[in-house]
Structure 1
Amino acid sequence: MKQRYLAYVFILVGLAAFSSCKEEEYAIPVAKQELQNDVIKRTLGPNLAGLDIEFAYAMALPPSMGRLVSAEVEASVAGGESTHLENKSYYTNSSGEDIGIEVGSKSVTAGNKTTVTFTRDTSAATLRYFYRIPFNAKGQEVTFNFSAKASNGQSVSYSMGPYKIAQMDMVLDLDVKDSTNAFISIEDMAVYSAADAASNASKIDLVYLYRSIRNISFAHALVAPSSTTYLPGVTLPAGVNRSARIQKVWNLRDQHLARLQFGVFIDDLDFQRLDIAEAPDYALNLKAEAGAWVETQDGKYRAYVYVNSVNNGSKSAKISIKRFTMK
C-alpha cells in the first residue's frame, strides 16, 4: 500500500507540474521607434603598440523615421596614421563570408576623432573601426566614444573601454643564419652580422647557430656568448661576451608572434611573473613553433623568442620576439 500511495503522489505532482508549465506564445519584438547603436570589440589578446584594436559599430533607425547621416569615433588618445573607420557596411552571407557594401565617403581623422559621412540612403549600417595603437600610449588606458547622427536630428553614443595598452614591444620575422646573421640583441630587437655585432658588443645577448652532430641533439640553438660549452667552432666578435638565462619552451604559440589559429597570448604579467633564475645559458634543438624565454644579463629585459620556421639545409631560421622592459 505504501508503494502504491507514493506512486499516486508522484503522478499527482507530475500532473500539477505539467499543468503549471503552460507554454507562452512567441511574439515578434517591436522595434523601437528611435535611432539605436551597439558596439563589439573584435580583436583579442593584449593591446600592443603598433597593432590595431578593431571594433564593429552598428547603428539603425526605422526607415520611416529617416536615414543615417554620419558616424564618428573619438579616442581618448589619438591613434596612429592608419586609424580609420571603414566606409563599408558589412553583413554575413549564407556561406559565412563577410560582405562589405560602400555606404559613405572615406573616413576623415582630425586629432582624436574619425568620421564617416554617409552617401547612400540607408537607415542601418555596421562599420568597422581600426584604431592603430600609438607607441606613446604604452602603459596607458584608452577609451572610445562611438556616436551616430540621423537625418531626423536624433543622435546616439556608445562608450567602450578603458583598454590597457601593453608595455611590451614586439618584432616579427627576423632572419637568422649560422655564421652570417647570427648575433641577436634583445635591447635592439635586431639581428647583426659579426661585423655589426662587434660595433654593438654590449648589446648582444644571444648567438644563433646550427650544428648537425652525430648522436647529439643540437640542431638549431640559441646560446649566450658567455657559454663555454655550446658554441662549437664559433669565433665571437671582439667584446661579445654577455651571459643570459634561457629556458626552452614547447607549444607556446603566442598568436601575435605565430599568427596561427591558437588563441594564446603572452602579456605583460607573464614577463613580470617569469622566474627562470635557475635556467642555463643555452637552448638546443629548437624546432619550428617552439620558443625560449630569455632574461638578459643585467636583468633589464625579459623576452620570448618564438621560432616561426627552420631550415636545416641553409642552417637558418625565422624568429619573432616579444620583449618587456623590467627596469
Structure 2
Amino acid sequence: MPAPLTPADYVTAEAYACEQGLLGRAWTPVCRSEELAAAGAQRPVQVADTPILLTRDRDGVVRAMSNVCRHRGMILASEPLQAEVVRCPYHLWAFGLDGRLKAAPFMAPGSVSNCDLPLYQAGEWGGFVFVSLDPDAQPLSEAMAPMAEALQPDRLEGLRIGWRVAFEHAWNWKVLVENFGESYHHIGPHAGTLQPLWPGGQTDSTPGGPDWFEITHPEHPEEGALRVWVIFPLFLLATTTRSTGAVWYRITPTGPQSMSLEVLGLEPPKACADAEKMGAARELLTAVHLEDITVCDGVQAGLRSPDAILGPLSPLEAGVARFRGWIAASRARPGR
C-alpha cells in the first residue's frame, strides 16, 4: 500500500518534484477550444514542469509541442498569437505548426538535424483542449468516457467563455483541489453565500469512480441543485441543474506553495452577449472565492507548522479521501 499523504506533501520542493510525473501523465485541460480556434493559433501553457505550445493548423488539428527552441533553449511564445509558423524571437529559427524545423538562419547545411520540436499528446473533448505528456496515455475519449453521462460533453462543447477572473495564490495546488472537492465547509466561510442555498451537511461526495467524483447537493427551489465534479488531478467543474452554463477552475501549479488560477464562466453564446448578466456572475464568483482565499491561506500556513497533521476526515469529505489516495498511488508510479 502506498504511503499516505502528510503535511510535507503540501509544502516541500521534494514532494512537488515527485508529483511532476503524475501531473504529466494525466490528461489535463489547458484551454477552451475557442481560445485556439483559428488556423495558425498558438497558445503557451504549462503541463507539470514542461512549457507547452499549443497550435492549430489549417486542417483544424490541434497539436501540443515543446515551447522551448531547439537552438539555445529560448521560450518560443510567451503570449497567445496567430501566425503560419512558430518563430523563436531570439535567432528567428522557425518551426511549422506541426513542430518541424523550417528555417535556421546562417546555420551550416547538415548542422540542424534532429531539431524538430518534441510533440506531446493533445485532444479535444467537451470544448476543452487536453494535453498529456505520456506517449502511452489512454486515448482521451476513453479516459473521459466514465464522466460523459454526467458531464454531457456535447452540451459543454456548445458553451463559450462569458467571463473570467484570475488569481495568483501562495498555496500548494492540492489545497485548492481539496477545498473545491468538499461542500462541508459551506457551514463556515460560505455561511452567508452558499450555505443557505446548498447546506453543507446535506452533501455527498461518494458518487464517481477511482479517478473522479461528483458532489451532490440538495435541490434549491430557485437555484436548483449545485453539481460539482473533480476529475483527478486538475479538472474542476461546477454547474447547477437550473443553469445552462458551467464554471471551470483552470489551475496551473507553479511551485510547492504557489499556483495560478483562472476561473472561467462558460455560457451559451446568447447569454455571453449579456454584459450585465456576465458581470454579475463574475462578481458573485469573486465574492465566493474571496471567502475561500481566507481559509486556503490559513490551511497553507497551518500545513507549514511542525504541529500539522492530516487529521480524520468527515463522511462529507469522501471525495477528499479518494483524491488523497489517488495521489499517493499515482506518485508511486515510475516515470511520466
The normalised TM-score by structure 1 is: 0.25
Higher helix share goes to which structure? 2
**Structure ID, larger Rg:** 1
Q: Which structure has more RCO (C-alpha within 8 Å, separation ≥ 6)?
A: 2
Q: Name the structure where strand makes up a greater proportion of residues.
A: 1
Q: TM-score, normalised by structure 2?
A: 0.25
